Structure 1
């Protein structure tokens, strides 16, 4: 048998092996928003979610690459399969059309494998009559403001049939719009709200309403195309995320992030 003939079967066998494993060795590309969402995600440094995913991936021998982009673009890329994953996606009906989540049972995501949970709060100017009572809004004429790209907020407001405006990129800018009289209410995450309410342009001017708007878990969700090709790898990564969340090393690593 010639050297060439003997090498051909080995090359074919290596190709078969590569078709199942080489793609998985590539870094997982993960989109995040192009604006900060403290303390969870930042486009220029690692937030608590990025630290969690990096540590869990390292345990599995995987590499990850975070790519900031507009939230709408992120959804498009995941749907197309050109981006592998979204770092912190809400478990919404629209997202489930194109993204795979860790599931506890059909129709229910496994919250033990979430990258985190966040509460959103409704803010108004002090003295305003605009209100949110936990089930409905009142005295809202200009629409509810929130940062562009939050599918959890969008779907809930649509279900409530409440007018909203999500044309502005950040929570801070929406607060400025409200101060300028361009909206009566702003929805934002509670953690960032506490930070913003201490800033000079908002201190003493705005207040948080007592009833939360949402209390939702967020997940590292994958494009269905990627999950179908690497289901075992993704399942193992989700399991590692669940374990890492309570790991003392992780809890120490995220101290001070805000």
Structure 2
């Protein structure tokens, strides 16, 4: 190859990564909760959601910086534009005021581009007068323990319940329930299920209701400030999430972990 052609080829080769980075835009900052939410996210930056987004970013060419935050801070920094997106919340009217999930043409959330689907469990204090059949919550004391910053707090309040939302973790929620602060707790994640089986503080004091309190699709919720600036970029990331979830390789990774937690 003549020298001039070699020089041109070398210049093109060296410019390609730079062009890709410029096309992808500046690095993105995504926050996730700083407490364990196995198998989806863990405080050390592992979990299925993180792996899913890393694989999606390889498709789109984006660079993503993941930061762990207390959930209320994660929401506030997404609202103000410090954070570009939140990893794994559910869609609800309050969050729609400052962020958005992937949506269909009619504006409703798009489950095909969600990160995952999971349920929220309800726990009862043994020997209390409270019960839950999947539809009707009988709770004479009207006190429910839930973790702060979650949409389930709004849902419970809409049912006329007084919510004790001081707990940050499922362990704190179970401890309050076992101590008699309330007869009902509605807790996110699978950690509470595992604690119920393994921790002697809760054995014989707390039971898991047979029916979940609610089931949600969980999304990459993008802040309005970030989305309005680069809508095509985030649509591409949501599309890439759907593509990764459909691959046999990711399903092989996801299914054993999800199955493990569903049957523990």
| TM-score, structure 2 as length reference | 0.83
- Name 2:91's counterpart in structure 1: 91
C-alpha deviation, 1:146, in angstroms: 1.3
On the 8 A contact 1:78/1:86 being kept in 2, the answer is yes
Deviation of residue 120 (structure 1)?
Answer: 1.1
Q: Verify the 8 A CA contact 1:132 1:138 in the aligned structure 2.
A: yes
Tell me which residue corresponds to 2:113: 113
Q: In the alignment, what sits opposite 1:225?
A: 225
Contact 1:51-1:253 within 8 A present in 2 as well: no
Deviation string, structure 1 residues 71-126 (Cα, Å, up to 9, x no partner) = 11111111111110001121100000110221113341101111111111211122
Which shifted more, 206-215 or 246-255? 246-255
Q: Is the 8 A contact 2:56 2:240 kept in 1?
A: yes
Q: Deviations over 1:131-162 (max 9, x none)?
A: 223334223426111112212x0221122121
Distance change in 2, residues 1:150/1:64 (3 Å):
same
Query: C-alpha distance in 2, partners of 1:187/1:215?
Result: 12
Instruction: Report the number of matched residues.
Output: 238
Partner of residue 36, structure 1: 36
CA distance in 1, matches of 2:167, 2:193: 20
Hey, what's the Cα distance between the residues in 2 that align with 1:250 and 1:25?
26
CA RMSD of aligned residues (A): 2.1
In the TM superposition, what is the alpha-carbon distance from 1:233 to its structure 2 partner? 1.3
Q: Is 1:155 paired with 2:154?
A: yes
Q: What's the offset of the Cα at 1:22?
A: 4.6
Q: How do residues 1-258 of structure 1 correspond to structure 2 at under 5 angstroms? A: 22=22, 24-141=24-141, 143-151=143-151, 153-189=152-188, 191-201=190-200, 202-254=202-254, 255-256=256-257
Structure 2 match to 1:4: none
Aligned equivalents of 1:63 and 1:168: distance in 2?
34
CA contact 2:60–2:237 (8 Å) conserved in 1: yes
Distance in 1 between residues matched to 2:126 and 2:33, nearest whole Å: 30
Deviations along 1:204-239, one digit per CA (max 9) or x if unpaired, are 432111222110111101111111121111111101
Answer yes or no: is the 8 Å Cα contact 1:148–1:170 preserved in 2. Answer: no
CA contact 1:132–1:211 (8 Å) conserved in 2: yes
Taking structure 1 as the reference length, what is the TM-score of the superposition? 0.84
Gaps of 5+ in 2: 1-18
Alpha-carbon distance in 2 for matches of 1:146, 1:37: 15
Residue 24 (structure 1) shift: 4.5
Distance 1:105 1:136 in 2: 34
Q: Is the 8 A contact 1:49 1:88 kept in 2?
A: yes
Give the 3-state SS of the residue equivalent to 2:212 in structure 1: coil
Moved more, 122-131 or 84-93: 122-131
Larger deviation, residues 242-251 vs 92-101:
242-251
Partner of 2:15: none
